[in-house]
Each structure stands twice: as C-alpha cells, then as structure tokens.
Amino acid sequence: MTSTTTYQPGNSPAGLFKARSWGEWVDHHSRTFFIAPAVVLILIFAIFPTFYSIVFALSRVRFRATGLQFRFVWFDNFIAQFTGNEQAHFLGRLTGMSFVGWIFALAMTALAIWWLYRSWQNRTHWIFLVGRLISAAMFIFIGWILALTLLSGNPWGTMMTTLFYVIVGCSIQFVIGTGLAFLCSQPISGKNFFRVLFFIPLMITPLGVGYAFKMVLDITKGPLQPLWDAIGLQDWAWSTDAWAARWFVILGDSWQWIPFIFIVMLAALENVSRDQVEAAQVDGASSVQIFREITWPQIVPVAVTVILIRMIEAFKIVDLPNIMTSGGPGIATESMTLHSYFLWRANDMGSSAAVAYLLLILTVVVCASFFNYVVLGQLRRAK
C-alpha cells in the first residue's frame, strides 16, 4: 500500500523522510496505523477462518491425541449433502415428482432461461452474463427442489427451511413493518410512545424472545390456554406439526425484527418533503393517491435496502429454531446454521463445514442477486 495521502507534505518522498521523534514517525505512518488494525483483525478472524473452513469441508476430520487429523476427500462432504445419505436432511426427500411439480419446475426453468436469453440479446457484458448465469442456476435449482418437495408432498430439508424463513419471514416483516410505519406517520397522538414501544423487541436477546414465545404459546400452561381449550387443541403441541412449528418460529422472528423495518421505514416516510405532500393535497389527491404516487416511489430505495439488510441477517437464523423447537419436529424447523451446529456436536466436522459453506454460497448468491437486480436498479433510479 504505497501512495501519497491527501495531506502528506507532497515533496518529501518516504525514503528521504527522517523522523525527529517517535511521535513524528507514528504520524508519518498514520495512514497505515489507521486502517491496519481493522484489516488485520478481519484477515485473521474472518478471511483466514473462511479459507480454513474449506479444509474442513474437503476433509474427513478425526480427533487424535496429537490434535486433529485431516484426510483429504475431495468433495465427498458436499456430494453427501446433495446425493448421499444426508440428502434428505439437506434438500429433503426427493422421491417422485408430482404433476404440479413438473409444471412448476419446467415453468421456473423456462423463465430463467428466457431471462438469460434476454440478457444475451441485450449484449450484456460477459462478466454480468456470468453473474446472471449463476443467479439463474440457483433459481432453477431452488425451483426444482421446491417442486420435488413441497409440490410433490415430500418433506423438505434445511435449505428450503432456511429459504422459507428468509423469504416468507422477510416478506411478512416488511409488509407489517411498513404498515406500522405508515400508521405512525399519520397524524396520530402518542406518536413517540408508539415509536419507542414498537422498537423495543429488536433490542431483546433472541434467546429471550425464543423462550418468551415458547411460554406464551404453551398449550397447557401458557396464557392462551383457555383459547386452545375452547378450540379443542388442548392435547396438541407445536412440536408435532411441521408447518405449525415453522410458523411458530416465524412468529417469534417477526416479533423481533418487525421493529427494524418499522423504524427505518418510518424515518424514510418522515423524510419525504412535506411540501410535496401538501402540494399534492392542494392538487386534489386523496391520501391513498398521495401514498401511491408521491410517498412510495420516494421510499422504495430505502425499502429495498432495508430488505437486503434484513435478508442478510435472516440467513443466519439459529437461536429461535434452536430454542423454540430444537429444530423439530424431526428436522422441520432446522435452519442451515442449526444443521451445521448439530453436525459439529456429532463430531462430524467435515459435513458441518460443508453445510456452513453451502449456507455461505446460498446467502451470497441470493443476496448478491437481490442487490444487483433490485437494489442497484432502485438506487440508480433515485439518483
């Protein structure tokens, strides 16, 4: 890293510089000292472990008295997730595709290929074309897995569960969070009270959220027990039904994260120029028209950014399913992080690292696609 700072005395090349004191020497090299700690920390504790993880993922790891012993096994650990004995756990049970499944899978494939063909025709630069190829491949893959599991009546694995938390969870949270923000941007009294109150869940430890919801929704001892009795569910349990358990987790996750969407969208709504809204009022627009025509187009860039941030965090979900359902029933609520964690506890480090790596790839491809095709477009339009 050698170049001139904007401030350095321009005519004294580093070689000729003679520091008269230690302080001066430090100042002369301040450009390095400012950034080095952060870079070194990230290199050691983020970049290095990410690479190190590859070794785990490509090895069979054994504990020996002398330490760990790695045996290089190429992609066995990954292959096991897709085709081997772990397939049902990671992808789901992939036996027999239903008619609906076929139609859906073929439709998704056609859609992705058509999109690629369009980009090809538009003479997109080859680098972007490669990016689109990866996005399309991921899209087709997810489409086929969805068709083979959900649409064919088979249980799905931790990958689809994670995507379910991300896509369904984020959508619900975005809609409700934005709705609440819109309510609070209206002329209501007690605005500040609601603002602070609605923000609080975000700050509470996910662990506490998990246990709190486990208690509150407890069928026999929870506060809603009279209700369960009334609808005849007293012998039922959250952990017996896969879908109920998944929604149970989404409920806790939404309680925690809606506040995030809420405060950001509220700030965005309040940032829209009052003059513009008033001009529209004088021009005869109703509040619905004002929201659709004036407010919404101006907050879309913030909206997609906040969704991106939320998505990035949502892929990491682990505390809530671990606490609320322990991943059960079976593997119904297990997220990929939890999957990897369980494998680690079972001392299968190679598979654990492989699943973690697959999560990283999934996260990066989905988030990067969303960023490139949605967020960037909106930001560019706002400029």
Residues within window 246-275 making contact with other proteins, judged by CB under 8 A: 255, 260, 263-264, 266-268, 271, 273, 275
Nearest approach, Cβ of 176 to other proteins (angstroms)? 8
Tell me the torsion sign for CA atoms 317, 321, 323, 328. negative
Both structure tokens of 332: 């119904």
CA–CA separation, 335 and 158 (whole Å): 5
Tokens encoding 84? 């081997």
Asked if 137 interacts with other proteins (CB under 8 A), we say: no
> What binding mask, one character per residue, do residues 38-77 give for other proteins by CB under 8 A, x or -?
xx-xxx-xxxxxxxxxxxx--x--------x-x-x-----
- Provide φ and ψ at 207, rounded to 5°: -60, -50
Residue of 197, 233, 237, 346 interacting with other proteins (CB under 8 A) = 197
Structure tokens, 50: 């990410």
Contact set for other proteins, span 217-246 (CB under 8 A): 220-226
- Among the candidate windows 77-85, 93-101, 102-110, 374-382, which touches other proteins by CB under 8 A? 374-382
From CA 96, how far away is CA 317, in angstroms rounded? Answer: 30
Q: Does 175 bind other proteins (CB under 8 A)?
A: no
One-letter amino acid for residue 32 of the chain? T
Quick one: 106 or 215, whose CB is closer to other proteins?
215
Closest CA to 220 of 207, 233, 205: 233
- Report the alpha-carbon distance of residue 228 to residue 248 in Å, rounded: 15
Instruction: For the chain, report the end-to-end CA distance as a whole number of angstroms.
Output: 33
* Cis? peptide before 329, omega within 30° of 0: yes
Q: Residue 271: which of 300, 237, 314 has the closest Cα? A: 300
Task: Give 145 or 306: the residue with its C-beta nearer to other proteins.
Answer: 306
Q: Which of 233, 286, 347, 373 binds other proteins (CB under 8 A)?
A: 286
CA of residue 87 relative to chain centroid, distance: 23
Contacting other proteins (CB under 8 A), which of 107, 207, 230, 237?
207
| Shorter beta-carbon distance to other proteins: residue 129 or 285 | 285
Question: Which amino acid belongs to residue 185?
Answer: S
Size of the site for other proteins (CB under 8 A): 127
β-strand pairing of 59-64 with 67-72:
antiparallel
Instruction: Give the helix ranges, DSSP H, for 187-335.
Output: 191-199, 206-216, 225-230, 242-271, 274-282, 287-290, 296-314, 319-324
**Does residue 285 belong to the site contacting other proteins (CB under 8 A)?**
yes
| Min dist. Cβ of residue 196 to other proteins (A) | 5
Q: How far is the CB of 187 from other proteins (least distance, A)?
A: 5
CB 294 within 8 A of CB 277: yes
Contacting residues for 135 by C-beta, under 8 A, at least 6 apart = 365, 368, 369, 372, 373
Nearest distance in Å: CB 150, other proteins = 24
Which residue among 204, 233, 237, 346 contacts other proteins (CB under 8 A)?
204
State which of positions 290-349 bind other proteins (CB under 8 A).
293-294, 297-298, 301-302, 305-306, 309, 312, 315-316, 318-319, 323, 336-337, 340-341, 344, 349
Q: Which is nearer to other proteins, 226 or 232 (CB)?
A: 226
Q: Least CB distance from residue 344 to other proteins, whole Å?
A: 6
List binders of other proteins among 67-126 (CB under 8 A): 68, 70, 72
Return the range that interacts with other proteins (CB under 8 A); candidates 22-30, 93-101, 106-114, 141-149.
Answer: 22-30
